[in-house]
Structure 1
Amino acid sequence: MRSTTTGTARLTKTHKLSAAGITVAMGAAALAMAVTPGQATETPSIAVKPVAWTTTDLGAHDHITQQAKTTAADAAEAKKKADAAAKAKADKARADQQAASRSQARTPVKPAPAKPAAPAKPAAPAAPVKKAYADNLDGWIKESLDILKSKNIPATYEGIKRNVMRESTGNPRAINDWDINAANGVPSKGLLQIIDPTFKAYHVEGTSWDPYDPVANITASCNYAADKYGSMDNVNSAY
């Protein structure tokens, strides 16, 4: 079957069903002619009823079309609901964040408690500066006088120097090996000619234990003179 327009016409499912009906009708007519004797040469007159297109024939097509529309509508509705849910979730998250920001802005920040300052460490006591003394008779007498003063032992520079010059003429290594002390085995030694037993008995703490040491010799001798005569200043001869 061709259409009035140019090109080959397409057959729909309904058209195909109508053509099939016609073919069946023609087949039935031919069979009737074949079984009737004596009429083989006659051409029977067959009335062909036109096949009408009914709503039943269109139902399958309409059902498919309706189902496709329903599926598309369901998909669109599902997408709409999903978009609405996503938007609601985003709006809630945004609102929660804004509320938290406002709450944080209203909450006063407590300053951290100040740590108490560590107590200042007391300064280490300064090391005493050792006084320098000359390594001669003048320096020996001055150093000995400072020690004697710290021990409350009386003496003066003049009294010490006067007795030193008489006893040893200022020689710290002087020794008497001829008097009675020498004869007894304990010669007098040093600047103020003190014997070992007396030096040991009157030794002043902080000085050397060597009787020939000039400062130790002067200090022990002044300690002995203060005990026996009140002060080295009161000694004017052998003592």
Structure 2
Amino acid sequence: MSVSSISGRLRRLNKTQKLSAAGISAVAAAALSLSLVPGNADAETEPQAISAAPVVFTSAAGAPQAKTIQSSLIEQHSTAEQLVKAADAAKAKKAHAVKEKAEAVSKAKAKKAKKAKAKKAAAKRGHQAASRSESRTPAFSNNLDGWIKESLAIMKSKGIPGTYDGLHRNIIRESSGNPKAINDWDVNAVNGVPSKGLLQIIKPTFDAYHVGGTPHDQYDPVANITASANYAADKYGSIDNVDSAY
């Protein structure tokens, strides 16, 4: 039963109770009047002396029935009050449940938003770190100057000695700065292992002194420079100490 239905019944019940209570009061008053008036009241014309004997009040014929009705109405009223209280309690419980659900949904949304924000912030930090790393990584030009500078950076990380001047000087003497240069006339060429690249290194020497992190290709400028500098460091202490064929 809905709260509105119960409230309507209560309004109707209260109205009935008021009418019943008024009727009961009228019946009681009439009964009391009848009990106080003597049976021969109409025949008497003179005042009668008040008897000293106690007056016995007798109940009207409808008094027991009125009490029963009143008791029933009181019981119905009590039951209606209990129903209203139960309906109010159910309504309050439902409202509390709705409030708790709304709070739970709100907390879940806030938690999700916080997690997404943290993820976004982490991604942003990672991107910024990568950008800083890229900005710290020097960009080398694809020419002799860039090849030498990149080779020096790798040599430094590997502990291979050598300077820009030492590398540049030997490169110009050996190949004139041409990374595709090849010697096809000296003894190495005759033996089938011609010198190749910027610092004119033969294949067996290149393979033995190749520096990790560079292409395994004799014609690659950086790979050729670093392998030759590594060989010169082992045989002469540094490429700077080389002034002729080595």
Q: TM-score, normalised by structure 1?
A: 0.56
**Residues 91-144 of structure 1: CA distance to partner in whole angstroms, max 9, x if unpaired?**
67889999xx9xxxxxxxxxxxxxxx99x8986493331431111000000000
Structure 1 position 222 matched with structure 2 position 212: no
Question: Partner letter of residue 78 of structure 1?
Answer: T
Amino acid at match of 2:181: A
Q: Determine the C-alpha separation between the residues in 1 that align with 2:205 and 2:214.
A: 15
Output the CA distance in 2 between the equivalents of 1:167 and 1:92: 110
Equivalent residue, structure 1, for 2:151: 144
Letter in 1 for 2:76: A
Q: Given residue 145 of structure 1, which amino acid in structure 2 is its aligned partner? A: L
The letter of the residue matching 1:198 is T
Question: How much does 1:199 deviate?
Answer: 0.4
Provide the rounded CA distance (Å) in 1 between the counterparts of 2:157 and 2:65: 112
Which residue matches 1:156?
163
What is the rounded CA distance, in whole Å, between the counterparts of 1:163 and 1:230 in structure 2? 15
Q: Residue 89 of structure 1: CA displacement? A: 4.7
SS at the partner of 1:176?
A: coil
1:134 aligns with 2:141: yes
Unaligned runs of 5+ in 2: 1-59, 93-113
Alignment coverage as a number of residue pairs: 152
Aligned to 2:204, the other structure's residue is in SS state helix
**Is residue 2:79 matched to residue 1:85?**
no
Give 1:177's match in structure 2, choosing from 175, 179, 184: 184
Q: Which amino acid aligns with 1:77?
A: K
Partner of 1:33: none
Kindly state the Cα deviation for residue 238 of structure 1 after the two structures are TM-superposed. 0.2
Residue 87 of structure 1 deviates from its aligned partner by 3.5
TM superposition shift of 1:151: 0.5
* Structure 2 CA distance for aligned equivalents of residues 94 and 176 of structure 1: 110
Provide the residue aligned with 1:104 in structure 2. none
Amino acid at match of 1:180: V
1:25 aligned residue: none
| Higher alpha-carbon Rg | 1
- Evaluate the alpha carbon distance shift between residue 208 and residue 86 of structure 1 in structure 2; reply closer, same or farther with a 3 A threshold: same
Partners in 2 of 1:75 and 1:162 — Cα distance? 134
**1:85 CA drift (Å):** 1.8
Q: Within 5 Å, which residues of 2 pair with 1:64-143? A: 75-89=65-79, 124=126, 126-127=129-130, 128-129=133-134, 130-143=137-150
What CA RMSD, in Å, does the superposition of the two structures yield over aligned residues?
A: 3.2
Q: Which runs of 5+ in 1 are unaligned?
A: 1-68, 102-116
What's 2:216 paired with?
A: 209
> d(CA) in 1 for partners of 2:65 and 2:244?
138
| 1:129-184 alpha-carbon deviations (Å, 9 max, x no partner) | 14311110000000000000000111100000000000000000000000000000
2: CA distance, partners of 1:95 / 1:171: 101
SS at match of 1:164: helix
SS of corresponding position for 2:139: coil
Q: Give the whole-Å Cα distance in 2 for the aligned partners of 1:82 and 1:195.
A: 121
TM-score (norm 2): 0.54
Q: Distance in 2 between matches of 1:183 and 1:169?
A: 22
Q: State how far apart, in whole Å, the 2-side matches of 1:220 and 1:149 are.
A: 13
SS in 2 for 1:192: coil
Which residue is equivalent to 1:166? 173
